[in-house]
Structure 1
Amino acid sequence: MYIVDRRLNPSGKSLENRQRFLRRAKALVQSAVKKSSQSRDIKDVLEGGEVAIPLDGMNEPRFRREGGTRDMVLPGNKKFIEGDMLPRSGEGGGGKARQAGTGDSEDAFRFVLSREEFIDMFLDDLELPDLAKRRLASTEGEGIQRAGYTTSGSPANISINRTMQIAMARRVALRRPRARTLEELEAEAAAASGEYRAKLLEEIETLKAKMKRIPYIDPIDIRYRRFETMPKPVAQAVMFCLMDVSGSMSEHMKDLAKRFYMLLYVFLTRRYRHVDIVFIRHTDKAEEVDEETFFHGPASGGTLVSSALAAMNEIVRDRYRPSDWNIYAAQASDGDNLHADSELTGQLLTEMILPVTQFFAYLEVSEATVSVFDEMPDSSLWTLYERLRTNGATLSMRRVAERSQIYPVFHELFHRRQNQERVAP
């Protein structure tokens, strides 16, 4: 007898069992996550939720006796008697259906993932090509720093120098006799006689009594080093989104670019504690804008890619020093660019942008179908970047024509490779 538990995952289920299941069925769950993400809107792609995996992947090894004769009692039998022929599975009975209209199919196993579990599965086999951590300059962590002195604390934190300074100041203020003064008076009294000697001895006794009342070190003199938490620098990154918004860029192309940008942003936030994002759109001139304007604001004009690269270079110089920030850039375009602008574009990219960036990706988008897009001649911008790559420029290039290509392209760019070379900062 098989019992199928069709209840939803209760919140109190053992966390250890849940993690064990995710490890055992990782490949199936990860495949379901990738499939689920393709049908979601980009703003909801990493929000977690329910995924389904086939029951075939849930089978566990078990021992059973083979052969022999067994007597079994199957409850609920109202149809068959001894000697009847039972139909094969999938032909009127239970089990997995092979084609429509034949039997009942088995339900897929449905599993609810939290947002963190969904993201971990979604990005598990990806990594950044260069995770070099430059000088830290953010303020989101917590650290410990010295914060003066206190009158209470652990004996291990006693500040001897500070304690002796305060003790000396107290002795001076209260005019505590010095040991040297007593020694001089005792030597003088030993050489004196008569009434003068008695006077010196009386003064010596008075000073000794005062010395006992004013200790050399008093408990109020003791000081302890004080520590307090402070913002601790953590790794940070900035992501530049560059996009051509001239008349040749349709809403479909912008949507493809947006999906790629969002995947890159979510990916960076999994690797860095602090990520800034800068939107630069351009026609024949470039401007920094907010996200709404970047994707939906109207614009007109020609196409000069160098204007966007120059704007990025200026922003990096003013706000994001390469010594403090890990810089990533993604450029989306349909490939059009003024032929006279090619030389300046190549110069800005190779001399100003690539030397300070950890990663630069060029995404060429199109309205054409995949098959037509692959057969189209190379665009002017693609030809330029391909020539720069041939000459040693470290940039990645991909073409996209449909939404279903976004994740495969992203996965191809950031797929974890064995013995991957690290790019020196």
Structure 2
Amino acid sequence: MANFIDRRLNAKGKSTVNRQRFINRYKQQIKKAVSDAVTRRSVTDIDKGEKISIPTRDISEPIFHQGQGGVRERVHPGNDQFTRGDKIERPPTGGAGGNGAGEASDSGEGEDDFVFQISKDEYLELLFEDLELPNLQKNRLNKLVEYQTYRAGYTTDGVPTNINIVRSLRSSLARRTAMTAGKKRELHALEQELTELQNTVGASADRILALKAQIEELKQKIKKVPFIDTFDLRFNNFAKREIPTSQAVMFCLMDVSGSMDQATKDMAKRFYILLYLFLTRTYKNLEVVYIRHHTQAKEVDEHEFFYSQETGGTIVSSALKLMHEIQQKRYPAEEWNIYAAQASDGDNWADDSPLCYQLLEKQILPFVRYFSYIEITNRAHQTLWREYEQLTEKFDNMAVRNIRQVEDIYPVFRELFKKQAV
């Protein structure tokens, strides 16, 4: 009886290869379904898997068949309805059942569209495909790097606290063995000869005395070899190597003034969650700082950021000042990758917009990796938008975009983080 053992790496998911082939083959339809799902989902389940429905016509294999056009002559045996010269109408296509997209039978049955379930990882992979963090490569080359100390063998120079006792004793033993090996062999031979002479009757007394003198001299020479010498000392060696920083902080600045209704806040929240998911796939350690502002800015937690009912007037510069203070205290630019995303409806005091320009120009944009501003409004742009547009001409790490409805969120997000041409 033959026994078969399955040693494949994906023994518990034997269809993994076929699954990947299927996703690659129908990636266009799946990506379209994924992008449509972003706008349909609620904010709480935006990062879960998705059921993808693919029309049957898109997964059917191509076949060769006779065309329906042209003039044809056919013989229909048993015909009792038509006579020579009559034109036969084309039979109707489609049928009842399902979505009407499959082949119908005489019983009115059909085929439904093919439904394909993708996992959370596959969903996010397709959602953020062909996207990257802007200016990341350039900033990596210019930023200060961190150094990590690690053990790098042993050295003959060092401070007493770094002495490695075991390696030093081992080196001492090797040196003493090399320096005394010949003398010990000679000593052993002389001692053996002295023993034989002492056991021999009538042996020469002078020879015995001479041997004893030689033995004593060799012993003194062996004792003079130091147990440990400075040459034997070995010290633990430590070196430093560059380690790329993998920590990032994202500042989320949201306008919660009276002009921001719940629908506008919901669109801002969708954008922030997409940005958070995107950054977590790039950085191992990611911290998020939530800042709400009206006339005053305040750092809050996630729940208060999205669900607090506090409202008031609008002074955008208050949020920018608070962001700069937090960044200076907790997130040094040489150790952290700093990102910021600001969402507003563009409503701001006219006198405050020039101050926002100055804050961004001098205190924020020189230190952040990327600053994205989305204005969620259907109205004409006001002074804040115009000031920000001027900054985009001076800084390539800032972008401003306009969102009018929920369907614009994902396309705008892809536009902000699309891969840059090399």
TM-score, reference length from structure 2: 0.69
Residue 114 of structure 1 is aligned with which of 104, 113, 119?
119
- 2:284 is aligned to 273
- 2:295 is aligned to 284
User: C-alpha displacement at 1:210, in angstroms?
Assistant: 9.7
CA-to-aligned-CA distance 1:52-105 (integer Å, 9 cap, x gap): 11122213346x6879xxxxxxxxxxxxx987999432257996379xxxx655
2:130 and 2:174 map into 1 onto residues whose CA distance is 69
Q: Does the 8 A contact of 2:101 with 2:113 survive in 1?
A: no
Q: Does the 8 A contact of 1:241 with 1:261 survive in 2?
A: yes
Residue 411 of structure 1 is aligned with which of 414, 418, 422?
414
User: C-alpha displacement at 1:20, in angstroms?
Assistant: 1.1
- The 1:327–1:178 alpha-carbon spacing in structure 2 relative to 1, beyond 3 Å, is same
User: C-alpha displacement at 1:165, in angstroms?
Assistant: 2.6
User: C-alpha displacement at 1:46, in angstroms?
Assistant: 2.0
Residue 210 of structure 2 is aligned with which of 176, 197, 213?
197
- Comparing 21-30 with 243-252, which one deviates more in the overlay? 243-252
1:93 and 1:348 map into 2 onto residues whose CA distance is 63
- 2:262 is aligned to 251
Give the secondary structure class of the aligned counterpart of 1:349.
Answer: helix
1:320 and 2:328 equivalent?
A: no
1:15 and 2:16 equivalent?
A: yes
Q: Does the 8 A contact of 1:242 with 1:330 survive in 2?
A: yes
User: C-alpha displacement at 1:117, in angstroms?
Assistant: 0.7
- The 1:92–1:135 alpha-carbon spacing in structure 2 relative to 1, beyond 3 Å, is same
1:298 and 2:309 equivalent?
A: yes
- 1:311 is aligned to 322
1:150-169 paired onto structure 2 within 5 Å? 165-167=168-170, 169=172
| Aligned sequence identity (%) | 42
For 1:200, the aligned partner's letter is A
1:262 and 1:396 map into 2 onto residues whose CA distance is 18
2:257 and 2:301 map into 1 onto residues whose CA distance is 17
1:335 and 2:346 equivalent?
A: yes
- The 1:88–1:210 alpha-carbon spacing in structure 2 relative to 1, beyond 3 Å, is farther
1:133-148 paired onto structure 2 within 5 Å? 133=140, 134-135=143-144, 145-146=150-151
TM-score, reference length from structure 1: 0.69
Structure 2: unaligned runs, 5 residues or longer: 1-11, 68-76, 81-87, 155-163, 187-205
- 2:70 is aligned to none
- The 1:247–1:30 alpha-carbon spacing in structure 2 relative to 1, beyond 3 Å, is same
1:171 and 1:50 map into 2 onto residues whose CA distance is 71
- Comparing 107-116 with 197-206, which one deviates more in the overlay? 197-206
User: C-alpha displacement at 1:125, in angstroms?
Assistant: 2.7
- The 1:136–1:107 alpha-carbon spacing in structure 2 relative to 1, beyond 3 Å, is farther
1:23 and 1:295 map into 2 onto residues whose CA distance is 37
- 2:55 is aligned to 54
1:125 and 2:130 equivalent?
A: yes
For 1:199, the aligned partner's letter is K
- 2:382 is aligned to 379
- 2:367 is aligned to 356
2:113 and 2:318 map into 1 onto residues whose CA distance is 53
1:246 and 1:87 map into 2 onto residues whose CA distance is 63
Structure 1: unaligned runs, 5 residues or longer: 1-10, 68-80, 150-160, 184-192, 367-372, 421-425
2:109 and 2:366 map into 1 onto residues whose CA distance is 61
Q: Does the 8 A contact of 1:234 with 1:273 survive in 2?
A: no
1:13 and 1:327 map into 2 onto residues whose CA distance is 42
- The 1:226–1:93 alpha-carbon spacing in structure 2 relative to 1, beyond 3 Å, is same
1:251 and 1:42 map into 2 onto residues whose CA distance is 13
- The 1:274–1:171 alpha-carbon spacing in structure 2 relative to 1, beyond 3 Å, is closer
- 2:93 is aligned to 89
For 2:319, the aligned partner's letter is A
Give the secondary structure class of the aligned counterpart of 2:254.
Answer: strand
2:217 and 2:167 map into 1 onto residues whose CA distance is 26
2:102 and 2:116 map into 1 onto residues whose CA distance is 22
1:27-42 paired onto structure 2 within 5 Å? 27-42=28-43
For 1:309, the aligned partner's letter is L
2:266 and 2:290 map into 1 onto residues whose CA distance is 15
Q: Does the 8 A contact of 1:90 with 1:104 survive in 2?
A: no
Q: Does the 8 A contact of 2:30 with 2:52 survive in 1?
A: yes
User: C-alpha displacement at 1:116, in angstroms?
Assistant: 0.8
Q: Does the 8 A contact of 2:34 with 2:50 survive in 1?
A: no
Q: Does the 8 A contact of 1:126 with 1:416 survive in 2?
A: yes
User: C-alpha displacement at 1:206, in angstroms?
Assistant: 6.0
For 1:275, the aligned partner's letter is L
2:419 and 2:152 map into 1 onto residues whose CA distance is 44
For 1:237, the aligned partner's letter is A
2:59 and 2:400 map into 1 onto residues whose CA distance is 40
1:207 and 1:385 map into 2 onto residues whose CA distance is 89
1:182 and 1:93 map into 2 onto residues whose CA distance is 103
- The 1:334–1:92 alpha-carbon spacing in structure 2 relative to 1, beyond 3 Å, is closer
- The 1:46–1:82 alpha-carbon spacing in structure 2 relative to 1, beyond 3 Å, is farther
- The 1:274–1:170 alpha-carbon spacing in structure 2 relative to 1, beyond 3 Å, is same
Q: Does the 8 A contact of 1:243 with 1:282 survive in 2?
A: yes
Give the secondary structure class of the aligned counterpart of 2:411.
Answer: helix
Q: Does the 8 A contact of 2:34 with 2:123 survive in 1?
A: yes
Q: Does the 8 A contact of 1:306 with 1:345 survive in 2?
A: yes
Q: Which is higher, the Rg of structure 1 or of structure 2?
A: 2
